Amino acid sequence: MNEQRKDILDMLAEGKITAEEAEQLISALERDRPPAAPAFDAKPKGKAKYLRVLVDSRDAGEPGRVNVRVPLQLLRAGVKLVALIPPQALERANAELSRSGVPFDLTQLKPEQLEQLVEHLDEMTVDVDQPDTTVRVFCE
Amino acid sequence: MPQLVTVRVERPDGRPFRLWIPVLPVLLVLFPLVIVLVLAAFVACLVFRVDVPHAFGTAWRIAFALPGTLIDIDQGGTGVRVAIR
């Protein structure tokens, strides 16, 4: 309870003002109150919506440019596809990965983990500068 | 849901080729084919023991997340641009 509201209630209790006057004062206080601060976990304004990949290159003297914009919502929907991969396909993929020297267990890859990865993509920026190629990956 | 897909192809020696594809009318025209594809997907889900509602829900989410996608590739005088709105 804030100080002003307490003062009004004290005056009401002491009989200095009537209940009607107290109600009017409290209403006036609420009208003058500044808007509440945003919650801590509220989404910040300007949250990234797209993943951008920009590549500028010069192959054999010809300039090349790649500009890809993917909605992050599409990535979020895409990671749910992982849950649809049949178990036998994952086992075969694991076997092929092991045979190629990459002992990676795809069955341990959970959609929730991928979703977390996508959620934090907006904090990621990749810049690669080469004499004839520039690559930028970022979220906007 | 995507409303319009635009495709632009540029060649160094010619006018750019542009294509506007209104998704909903095209889907309506191809409705019989869409039905066949949905049935084939349903059967494939059953054969490979994939959760059918989950699969269709994911496909639906992906379709609705497509607007805003842009792929633009230029090399020399040649370029391809695909935009989904």
DSSP A14-54: TTSS-HHHHHHHHHHHHHHSPPPPPPTTSPPTT---EEEEE
- By C-alpha distance, the chain B residue nearest A57 is B75
Beta strand A133-139 with A125-129: parallel, antiparallel or unpaired? antiparallel
Q: Identify the pLDDT of residue A34.
A: 53
Nearest to B61 among A49, A62, A80 (CB): A80
The closest of A124, A122, A126 to A140, measured between CA atoms, is A122
Q: Which pair of tokens denotes residue A134? A: 């520039």
Cα–Cα dist A22/A10, whole Å: 10
Q: Is the ipTM of this complex over 0.90?
A: no
The answer to whether A72 and A49 are in contact (CB under 8 A) is yes
Nearest to A62 among B70, B73, B75 (CB): B75
Nearest to A77 among B51, B65, B71 (CB): B65
The answer to whether B6 and B20 are in contact (CB under 8 A) is yes
Over residues B77-84, the mean pLDDT reads 91
Best residue in A54, A57, A69 for a mutation probing chain B (most B CBs within 10 Å): A69
- By C-alpha distance, the chain A residue nearest B70 is A69
Cβ contact, residue pair A63, B66, below 8 Å:
no
3-state DSSP assignment of residue A76: helix
Q: Look up the pTM and report it.
A: 0.65
Burial of A74 (0-12, 13-18, 19+ CB in 10 A): buried
pLDDT in tens, A61-97: 788 899 999 998 888 888 877 777 877 888 888 899 9
Give A71's contacts (C-beta < 8 A, 6+ positions apart).
A49, A50, A51, B65, B66, B67, B68, B69
Q: Identify the pLDDT of residue A23.
A: 80
Over residues A20-34, the mean pLDDT reads 74
**In residues, how long is chain B?**
85
Q: Identify the pLDDT of residue B81.
A: 94
The answer to whether B80 and B8 are in contact (CB under 8 A) is yes
Residue A100 pLDDT more than 50? yes
Residue A121 pLDDT more than 70? yes
Residues of chain B that touch chain A, judged by Cβ-Cβ distance less than 8 Å: 48-51, 54-55, 58, 61-62, 64-76
Cβ contact, residue pair B68, A50, below 8 Å:
yes
Q: What is the mean pLDDT of chain B?
A: 91
Residue B16 pLDDT more than 70? yes
3-state DSSP assignment of residue A68: strand
